Structure 1
Amino acid sequence: MEINYLILAHKNPLQVKRLITNLEDENTRFYIHVDLQTNIEEFKKSFANPHIHFLKRRFTGIWGDIGIVEATLHGMKKISRTNKKGYCILLSGQDYPLVSKKKIKKFLQEKFPTEYITTYPMPHSGWERGGMDRLTYYKINKSNKRKHFLQLSSIFDKEFYTPDTLGKINYLRKSGRFRELSQILKKRKFPSYIKPFGGSQWWGLTIGTIKKILDYVEQHPDYLKYHKYTLLPDEIFFQSILMELQHKKSMKNLIDRSLTYVNWDRPSGPLPVTFEIHDFPELKIASKDYLFARKFDMMANEKILDKIDSELI
């Protein structure tokens, strides 16, 4: 079983190295995309492994923006050209395995060719407004900072005619964002040839399905262009394509939920949860059903990684 890990990283090169150390073997390859705003040399000097490939084309991974999708697509293209078999698994640099690499490989071999991606039709009750604002509003960044953006509907939507719209328009006017401002003259509609599905950004897909997704994007260039103004397109873009492939019977593999455990349900604090040492019992339970978890920050709490290494891996 060949496993190709596509890792989206933007910080903590030593943590990414530790992640890879727990996953590498002779049939495993790593394709690392380092955010364009991050010094890639700090990553390169931490690695000396022929199985590790740094993606040369880099994108700015602004939170909730199209750059994350573009970086993922670029990595998928790189992997598909190698004609490898097996799986492509998408991870972030702040993910970590919950089981050994032998168990990961055994699990994937026994379940092959199951696809692992959490999907649900939109509107989805777990998302604010069912997530439909992501599809009909224009997401416009104010800066590269996390969650520093505004959403604006078109003049053809009743939501446009609300008191806060004037403030948004005035902000774009004052900052000279006339190109973005002109978008409100066009009604934003999800492409009619595909139904919207949402789900987890993190997935594990067979190489055969990766190639079908890339073919679909190439055949429908307007689909990628549409998502330029989508809020959190990484939670819609691939999920919708995959379900369309299944609907059209272009992809007949079984689809199961994501392999990565993420806690979005804690009542207080930033979400998703950044796990610390006191979260180990939760992760131990999760290790029975998931292969990976996110997220972790080695600089803030390395003890949780040590405990996972010693007791789970």
Structure 2
Amino acid sequence: MKLAHLILAHNHAEQLERLVNKLAHPDADVYVHIDAKVNLRPFESLKRFEKVYFITNRVKIYWGAFNMVEATVNSLEQIISSKNKYDYINLLSGHDYPIQPATAFINYLSDNPGKAFMSALLAETHCRDLLPRVQKYYLDNYRFPMRYRAQRLLNRILPPRKMPGNMVLVGRSQWFTLSVESVDYILKFWDAHPSFRNFMKFTWGPDEFVFQTILYNSPLKDKMVNDDLRYIDWTAGGKNPKTLTMDDADKLLESKKFFARKFDMQRHPDVLEYIDKHLL
């Protein structure tokens, strides 16, 4: 069983290096996409690792914008086209951290071949906050003055948008662990359906539903598991998960998940030390 970790990162090079070290395993490689808005130099220390590769087709990423999807697609394409052959691809952020040993994760995937582990709630019934994010026009992907005024005007004069091809909208969290079969299907669908791509360019936060929606409306639907294998605490409210601290240590220990997010090594290094000692 061969695994490729894909990490999307934009800061905290020291924390990213710590994450890469914890992912190390003979059957796992690590691919890193660094936001094109930032300088690569602070991250160049990762080049000394034999099984770490940088994504070359970097994208400038803005929160909530379509370019996060572009960065993910570019990265997946590089992984799939590499000389290395994988069974699974695991998407992480630079603020994630494993809470079980690398071998346990590899063994779990070996015991569950061909699955697509991702948060995939039906928008119409279980995740209704997704609906306005596709029904309205959003211009976050376009960096021009007064774009939000133009956005309000578009939504005032144009009717609500509808999903292309009557596709069923599903999603919740962007992070996933997918079989290569699933990734290959997503990339082929992406390439063959420009109308779907263009529709998603005007949505908000599409990274949280694009990939789930493609698979849910595909012959691979039955391979989907509505579990992203991550511990994420949304109780703080707002659009970002809680930054985990030692107050969350017992919950991490009990969660039985393989990864957790998000962490801040500069402000709360003690919880990472706790994980290293008690969970890894």
TM-score (norm 1): 0.81
What does residue 309 of structure 1 align with? 276
Q: Write the distance in 1 (CA, Å) between the matches of 2:142 and 2:114.
A: 41
CA distance in 1, matches of 2:46, 2:271: 22
Other-structure match for 1:283 = 252
> How far is the alpha carbon of 1:280 from its aligned partner?
0.7
What is the aligned partner in structure 2 of residue 258 from structure 1? 228
SS in 2 for 1:69: helix
CA displacement, residues 142-164 of structure 1 (integer Å, 9 cap, x when unaligned)? 998xxx96763746xxxx2xxxx
Question: Is this contact kept in 1: 2:118–2:228, CA < 8 A?
Answer: yes
Cα deviations across residues 40-97 of structure 1 (Å, max 9, x unaligned)? 1111134411211111111122111111100100111111113513100000000000
Picking from 148, 173, 177, the partner of 1:204 is 177
Post-superposition Cα deviations, 1:94-119, rounded to whole Å, max 9, x if no partner, equal 00001001111111111222210110
Letter in 1 for 2:138: K
Q: CA deviation at 1:186?
A: 7.2
Q: Quickly say closer, same or farther: Cα 1:251–1:271, change in 2 above 3 A.
A: closer
2:215 corresponds to? 242
1:270: Cα distance to partner? 7.5
User: What is the letter of the counterpart of residue 299 of structure 1?
Assistant: Q
The one-letter code of the counterpart of 1:274 is: T
3-state DSSP class of the match of 1:64?
coil
2:24/2:102 contact within 8 Å kept? yes
Give the aligned partner of residue 15 of structure 1: 15
Aligned positions of 1:27-106 closer than 5 A: 27-82=27-82, 84-106=85-107
Deviations 1:171-219 (A, max 9, x none): xxxxxxxxxxxxx557633212422112211000001111011011111
* Residue 240 of structure 2: aligned partner: 271
Looking at structure 1, the residues matched to 123 and 90 of structure 2 have their Cα atoms a distance apart, in angstroms, of: 24
Partner SS state of residue 204, structure 1: strand
TM-score scaled by structure 2?
Answer: 0.90
CA distance in 1 between counterparts of 2:133 and 2:197 reads 14
Contact (CA 8 Å) 1:138, 1:153: kept in 2 or not?
A: no
Which residue of structure 2 aligns with residue 228 of structure 1? Answer: 201
Does the residue aligned with 1:222 lie in a helix, a strand or coil?
helix
Superimposed CA distance per residue, residues 245-277 of structure 1 (whole angstroms, 9 cap, x where no aligned partner): 1xxx2565252411111111236x883000112
Give me the whole-angstrom Cα distance separating, in 2, the residues matched to 1:270 and 1:227.
Answer: 20
Q: How has the CA–CA distance of structure 1 residues 143 and 206 changed in structure 2, closer, same or farther, with 3 Å as cutoff?
A: closer
**2:148, 2:260 → 1: CA distance?**
28
Structure 1 segment 113-132 matched on structure 2, within 5 A:
113-127=114-128, 130-132=129-131
1:61 to 1:186, Cα distance in 2 relative to 1, 3 A: same
In structure 2, relative to structure 1, the CA distance for the partners of 1:186 and 1:206 (3 Å cut) is same
Percent identity between the aligned chains?
29
Contact 1:263–1:271 (8 Å) recurs in 2: no
Give structure 2 stretches of 5+ with no counterpart: none
Q: Decide whether the 8 Å contact of 1:154 with 1:187 is kept in 2.
A: no
**What letter is aligned with 1:224?**
R
Partner-residue secondary structure (3-state), 2:134: helix
CA root-mean-square deviation: 2.3
Q: Structure 1 CA distance, aligned partners of 2:226 and 2:52?
A: 28
Deviations 1:24-54 (A, max 9, x none): 1222111110011111111113441121111
Give structure 1 regions of 4+ aligned residues with deviation exceeding 4 angstroms.
Answer: 124-127, 148-151, 184-187
Structure 1's unaligned 5+ residue stretches are 161-183
Whether the 8 Å CA contact 2:90–2:177 is kept in 1: the answer is yes
